[in-house]
C-alpha cells in the first residue's frame, strides 16, 4: 500500500481560512457558521487519513482510495505514467503528482509518497508501461 504524499501548506491554508471565517462569524454573533464549516473539516481529515494507492498483483488491479471514493484500474490497461503538477481535483493530496494514462483516453492523478517504488511495482505487473 502506498500512502499519498501531502502538501501540508495547501491544507493549512484552507484550515486557516476556515478558522478565520469561523472566528469572524462568532465575533459577529453568527454561531451557526462554524456548524457549517465543521463538516468540511471532518471531510478534510477523512481524506488525509484515507487516501492511498494499492497495487494488487494477484488481480492485476490498481486500487485508489480517497475518502468515500474508490477507483479500480486494471494495471494491464495502464499505458503511460508521467510526472505532473496539475492542480485538477484528483485523489492526490499533493501537487507532486503522477499522471496515469489508462484505457484509450482515461487518466487519473495520484501522489504516492514513494513514487519510484510505486512505478516499479506497477511495472512488475505490466512491463509495457512507459514512464516519463
Query: Where do the structural domains in the chain lie, given as residue ranges?
Result: 1-132
Rounded CA gap, 65 and 45, in Å?
14
76 is written with which cell numbers?
494491464
Which listed CATH number (3.50.50.60, 2.30.29.30, 3.40.1160.10, 3.40.50.300) goes with 1-132? 2.30.29.30
pLDDT above 90 (res 98): yes
Alpha helix (H) residue ranges in the chain: 8-27, 33-50, 115-125
pLDDT above 80 (res 67): yes
| Mean pLDDT computed over 95-113 | 96
Lowest-pLDDT choice from 11-20, 65-74, 90-99: 11-20
pLDDT tens digits, residue range 113-127?
999 999 999 999 999
Rounded CA gap, 129 and 80, in Å?
5
pLDDT at 42: 87
pLDDT tens digits, residue range 38-50?
888 888 889 889 9
SS3 72: strand
CA 20 to chain centroid, in Å, comes to 26
Q: Phi and psi (nearest 5°) for 57? A: -60, -35
CB 11 within 8 Å of CB 63:
no
Amino acid at each position: 500500500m502506498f500512502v499519498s504524499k501531502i502538501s501540508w501548506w495547501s491544507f493549512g491554508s484552507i484550515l486557516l481560512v476556515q478558522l478565520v471565517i469561523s472566528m469572524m462569524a462568532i465575533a459577529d454573533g453568527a454561531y451557526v457558521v462554524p456548524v457549517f464549516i465543521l463538516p468540511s473539516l471532518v471531510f478534510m481529515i477523512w481524506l488525509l487519513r484515507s487516501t492511498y494507492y494499492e497495487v494488487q498483483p494477484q488481480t492485476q488491479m490498481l486500487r485508489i482510495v480517497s475518502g468515500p471514493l474508490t477507483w479500480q484500474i486494471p494495471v494491464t490497461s495502464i499505458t503511460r505514467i508521467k510526472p505532473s503538477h496539475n492542480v485538477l481535483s484528483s485523489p492526490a493530496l499533493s501537487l507532486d503528482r503522477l499522471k496515469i494514462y489508462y484505457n484509450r483516453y482515461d487518466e487519473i492523478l495520484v501522489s504516492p509518497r514513494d513514487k519510484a517504488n510505486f512505478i516499479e511495482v506497477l511495472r512488475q505487473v505490466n512491463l509495457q508501461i512507459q514512464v516519463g
